[in-house]
Structure 1
């Protein structure tokens, strides 16, 4: 009998992970839980403190995708590498970003995606469901505590199913707990879109009702749930609901959220500020505090290989030049010369010598191709060592001499909520200009006088590039949009001729790539009639 595909780990694994990572953790301003000496199934699922520890474990499991070392921490950067805004230069991430891998149910890229996304998010939904169902029947717990436990777990279940749906389309959702009796049941068909969104909305409605506007930094709040609810509504085409949820986060008198004053503050410090809606936390010298990753290194060039410039956090830290902003994105952010998003806040455009006779001067060792009829002889080194970098994921206390660093990761933030509100109004009723222009004004860019779909796409590119949202935005806007954007702009085309031919994402893209393939190793655990996505 084939094992149920999303039940990759049973209750015993949850107990071990909770015991190892979180029950013994206690620290100020972190996801704080009291230690316990008794760790067994009765403790976890039949006691208040056990269920609280189970909820904290969901934060750890959510962070796992970023912490896994698979192919230079590909799980942290894959979605950005596949967008229309990226140039994927090298490594296995480059193969994935150029649509050379991860395009067949049986290739190694699909197997990586299975581990990093399919199994990862089903693991979270399974554990969240177990906590929810246990919390609903536990005795001796006051209603406020019970609802807080369930609300956080329901947020994680909804957020994980939402991610799976956007990647794979053909998914199965359930609210049943894994038991010894049902662990080997075979699933024969995907869930309907109606059932998927009914569960997403039900879980998020409960989370919105029972979460508070403020909590310990790192924990999800009412604002986090409303932001995701707005994103879900956008996928349903329910513009009024999306607008309502977004405006609540922006304008509700009880909402603590507001745009920070300037773009330089958005990714400053530990990201604990009014714009943050959900931040994946990592903390040094703490059991359960997360692993060192190469997320930032994937996005930053190897400028330090140039004589006279040492790696330093101000210029991005130590990088690998895997995934870089492409000419299309750089053109968008340079359209307004006053826009501060190209001023070493979100991106590092220029590098400066830190030692030697030219200290303080701009590095100019290599040149890109600017004239196709007279190409530069050093363009490959330029892309490797001198090309602009995304520096959103560098943190001040990172080690500039290491590719590996432990830093907080911004997942959701208020600037996107503003752009959701603007788009929802553009597609329904209301004036979108104040909301899109709030983001532009913060960046010192000139306000827009009109808004259409392309204006929304362009502004989301400038503000949210490399934050993992772009590919989903293109897919949500429809087949024609994602086809046009990828085939027109992905990579750098003739300006990096080493990536033409079989390495050109523009020509490798096929319309059915709008859904990721379900890996054959996962299909083999499903019923014989379970549908693979079209085209594979």
Structure 2
């Protein structure tokens, strides 16, 4: 974007991690230092991690950047707040509404900031003198990974994007981008950047850094979007089976999101802690997903029940039914999702209740309770909740937490391998069943696209990838899922079949997000808005 020059001076007041991230005196932190010294370039790489974390830690509408992509899916019910408006397609559906205004700095501007900064670092590193080739390639590889990561996200979200390998300078800062890049140009750059990253990143890296495995995983995802299933299969199987790969599925679903997420399954984790990769401020991701159970007498927020939440976005009946298909599946057994809450405050127990008793004072609409029992309070205070982003070693009686967030993990690689093998005539069933067996679910006997869609929902829901997964499968699949399953339909009558029903509000052209009008105005006069928003 054209404000890149303004960002160049913001990078480098970051905290260090070992000698690679050594803090420099502020008097040295100028553009000459950044782009003309080895340590400056390394500090610039740290800034990419910081910028990538900014979306999660920017307080726009209860940290909407952490949860937006989960609200816009077929697996969630968006109950309240601005995230509710976005998830019900009441906002974020035109180039000029507040939803698009909020989305702009969180996604469009932020990912372009990452891509432009990565480009500056790549171009500077390629011509710097006095730096050994291995170190130079390591710097370029990390920067190229983040450029690909940023452009790939933008493409999947907005479609009409432009890509560039040219740094913004005084001479070109006011040149207008006249047109979107072609799909061929976009994927050529993605593949070139990721290939370089794969060639020059290491398998084994410090926790929080991207690795060869991270780049291979994203390369597999890119290949799936291209329809190059052979390449997707090659890259995914390499991450899973290469003798040098340090990655493996953790033993149980309870281990996936345990503690700091520093385990053999994580491929890239955003660290939201102090004194790591530029520092961290925290967010409200977990709070958006967890019910307000603590408002009921006899219960206080604790880590076992998910911490303190305000129940903006919850799993819908469709997802809960998928999880319930196998009664032994552990993913709804308080590992990925908490289904029930219990009394834990002995000093304030209701009459006749004991610590450990399940709370059931509200009930959802069902065959047994056709009107429910105060069903709106049920959704607010007792509804099953996603607890993937809860963390035991942080303050529980607060909405605001510093918790690490897994961005890419090996379970998705297994599902990519399964689908890619199925599409190329191979046997993908063992890879999907590895995910099921880890969850103690019965293996399936036939691999179909529907089975992959269902397992994707059970395993990866609320991790921000579901919308993109459905979009990749095509508009027919996306439209059907949204109009059939988004929200909770008749189980929440207040929103059913009216202006707050996402199934009613969904339009075909929502497959691409609108480009915010102010962002579009910074581009050339003929730069195309996404179809349907003009």
The answer, yes or no, to whether TM exceeds 0.5 is: yes
Secondary structure at the aligned position of 2:279 is classed as coil
- CA–CA distance in 1 between the matches of 2:462 and 2:276? 28
The yes-or-no answer on 1:358 pairing with 2:354 is: yes
Aligned to 1:8: 3
**Which of 396, 403, 416 is the matching residue for 2:399?**
403
The yes-or-no answer on 1:44 pairing with 2:34 is: yes
Aligned to 1:523: 520
**Which of 192, 196, 204 is the matching residue for 2:186?**
196
Asked if 2 retains the 8 angstrom alpha-carbon contact of 1:372 and 1:494, the reply is: no
- CA–CA distance in 1 between the matches of 2:152 and 2:2? 18
Asked if 2 retains the 8 angstrom alpha-carbon contact of 1:31 and 1:56, the reply is: no
- CA–CA distance in 2 between the matches of 1:377 and 1:348? 20
Asked if 1 retains the 8 angstrom alpha-carbon contact of 2:79 and 2:314, the reply is: yes
- CA–CA distance in 2 between the matches of 1:373 and 1:318? 28
List per-residue Cα deviations over 1:135-188 (Å, max 9, x = no partner): 000000000000000000000000000000001000000000010110100111
Aligned to 1:116: 106
- CA–CA distance in 1 between the matches of 2:516 and 2:61? 17
Asked if 2 retains the 8 angstrom alpha-carbon contact of 1:204 and 1:229, the reply is: yes
Secondary structure at the aligned position of 1:410 is classed as strand
Asked if 2 retains the 8 angstrom alpha-carbon contact of 1:303 and 1:385, the reply is: yes
Asked if 2 retains the 8 angstrom alpha-carbon contact of 1:421 and 1:432, the reply is: yes
Report the TM-score, using the length of structure 2 for normalisation.
Answer: 0.96
Aligned to 2:318: 328
Matches within 5 A, 1:88-107: 88-107=78-97
List per-residue Cα deviations over 1:311-356 (Å, max 9, x = no partner): 0011000001000000000000110011010100000101110022
- 1:372 CA displacement: 9.3
Question: Unpaired runs of 5+ in structure 2?
Answer: none
**Which of 404, 410, 413 is the matching residue for 1:414?**
410
Report the TM-score, using the length of structure 1 for normalisation.
Answer: 0.96
**Which of 446, 459, 471 is the matching residue for 2:467?**
471
Aligned to 2:430: 434
List per-residue Cα deviations over 1:7-45 (Å, max 9, x = no partner): 3231x5323331x2x2xx2346x9843434411111100
Taking structure 1 as reference, are residues 373 and 350 closer, same or farther at Cα in structure 2, changes over 3 Å only?
A: closer
Matches within 5 A, 1:442-521: 442-500=438-496, 501-521=498-518
Asked if 2 retains the 8 angstrom alpha-carbon contact of 1:66 and 1:73, the reply is: yes
Taking structure 1 as reference, are residues 143 and 287 closer, same or farther at Cα in structure 2, changes over 3 Å only?
A: closer
- CA–CA distance in 2 between the matches of 1:364 and 1:128? 52
**Which of 384, 406, 409 is the matching residue for 1:388?**
384
Question: Unpaired runs of 5+ in structure 1?
Answer: 1-5
Matches within 5 A, 1:7-406: 7-10=2-5, 13-18=7-12, 20=13, 22=14, 25-27=15-17, 32-37=21-26, 38-284=28-274, 288-355=278-345, 356=349, 357-371=353-367, 374-406=370-402
Asked if 2 retains the 8 angstrom alpha-carbon contact of 1:366 and 1:379, the reply is: yes
Aligned to 1:3: none
Asked if 1 retains the 8 angstrom alpha-carbon contact of 2:315 and 2:384, the reply is: yes
Secondary structure at the aligned position of 1:265 is classed as helix
Taking structure 1 as reference, are residues 275 and 287 closer, same or farther at Cα in structure 2, changes over 3 Å only?
A: closer
Asked if 1 retains the 8 angstrom alpha-carbon contact of 2:288 and 2:310, the reply is: yes
- 1:502 CA displacement: 0.3
Secondary structure at the aligned position of 1:503 is classed as coil
Taking structure 1 as reference, are residues 385 and 31 closer, same or farther at Cα in structure 2, changes over 3 Å only?
A: farther
- CA–CA distance in 2 between the matches of 1:372 and 1:486? 27
Secondary structure at the aligned position of 2:216 is classed as helix
List per-residue Cα deviations over 1:416-457 (Å, max 9, x = no partner): 000000011111121011100000000000001001111000
- 1:288 CA displacement: 3.9
Asked if 2 retains the 8 angstrom alpha-carbon contact of 1:187 and 1:530, the reply is: yes
- CA–CA distance in 2 between the matches of 1:33 and 1:271? 25
Asked if 2 retains the 8 angstrom alpha-carbon contact of 1:491 and 1:504, the reply is: yes
List per-residue Cα deviations over 1:87-117 (Å, max 9, x = no partner): 0000000000001100001111111111110
- CA–CA distance in 2 between the matches of 1:114 and 1:372? 45
- CA–CA distance in 2 between the matches of 1:31 and 1:353? 48
Aligned to 1:534: 531
- CA–CA distance in 2 between the matches of 1:95 and 1:372? 31
- 1:287 CA displacement: 9.7
Secondary structure at the aligned position of 2:138 is classed as helix
